[in-house]
Every structure is written in C-alpha cells, then in structure tokens.
C-alpha cells in the first residue's frame, strides 16, 4: 500500500509520521483491497481547534475520505481511522450485496 503524508504549516516528526502510517495500515484488517492513502496533517493555530487530519483511502475505483479536527494530531488521526473503519465496513457490505444480488423472476398472474 502506498502512503503519502503531507504536513502543512509545520514539519512532522518521524514518530508522528510512523503513527499515521501504522494507523492506516491497521485498516487492512477490515478490508484488504486498499490500494493507497493520502494523509494530510494541517496545523491551524489561528482557528482555535489546532490540529486537522484528513485521510483519503483509495479502494478499487473509489475514494473514501475522513477529516477530523482536535487539539492533538494523534487524536485527529485516530478519529479519522475510526470513521474510515466504519466506511470500509459499509463499503465492503455494499460490494458483497451487489455481487450476490439475485434477480427475482417477475410474478405472473391475473390482475382484477
């Protein structure tokens, strides 16, 4: 899985980069069809709530995006991963239902 990390308005420490990469890798236990991820960490000190994380997952031909703002980057990353985990479960269920959807025969009969 290709992971691209971008830090806006600050220099991300190696331990934060590793934490973000490990968090995204942990999503593979939910769905193993993840092709790649873009992680954007942004420091927005002028808006009050400082730390924003946005994670985009590339799955087959689709893109799942989660965004979270908190006072710490690690909390924001964990929040995004929680959202993406729920999204992946729903995505996986929809793919399974669409693949195994059985067509029913139209009912024939007399209408009075």
Domains of the chain, residue spans:
2-97
- Cβ proximity of 21 and 55 under 8 Å: no
Give the distance, in angstroms, between the CA of residue 82 and the centroid of all CA atoms in the same chain.
8
Distance CA(81)–CA(84), nearest Å, equals 5
How does pLDDT run across 10-66, given as a tens digit for each residue? 999 999 999 999 999 999 999 999 999 999 999 987 666 689 999 999 998 899 999
Name which residue leads in pLDDT, 108 or 1.
Answer: 1
Provide the whole-model pTM: 0.83
Distance CA(19)–CA(54), nearest Å, equals 14
Which numeric CATH code is attached to 2-97? 3.30.160.100
Please state, as a whole number, how many other Cβ atoms lie within 10 Å of the Cβ of residue 18.
12
């Amino acid at each position: 899985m290709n992971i691209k990390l971008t830090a806006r308005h600050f220099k991300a420490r190696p331990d934060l980069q590793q934490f973000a990469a490990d968090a995204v890798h942990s999503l593979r236990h939910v769905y193993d069809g993840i092709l790649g991820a873009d992680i954007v960490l942004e420091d927005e000190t002028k808006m009050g709530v400082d730390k924003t994380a946005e994670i985009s997952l590339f799955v087959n031909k689709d893109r799942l995006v989660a965004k979270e703002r908190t006072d710490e980057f690690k909390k924001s990353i964990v929040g995004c991963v929680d959202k993406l985990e729920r999204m992946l479960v729903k995505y996986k269920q929809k793919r399974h239902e669409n693949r195994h959807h059985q067509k029913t025969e139209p009912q024939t009969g007399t209408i009075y």
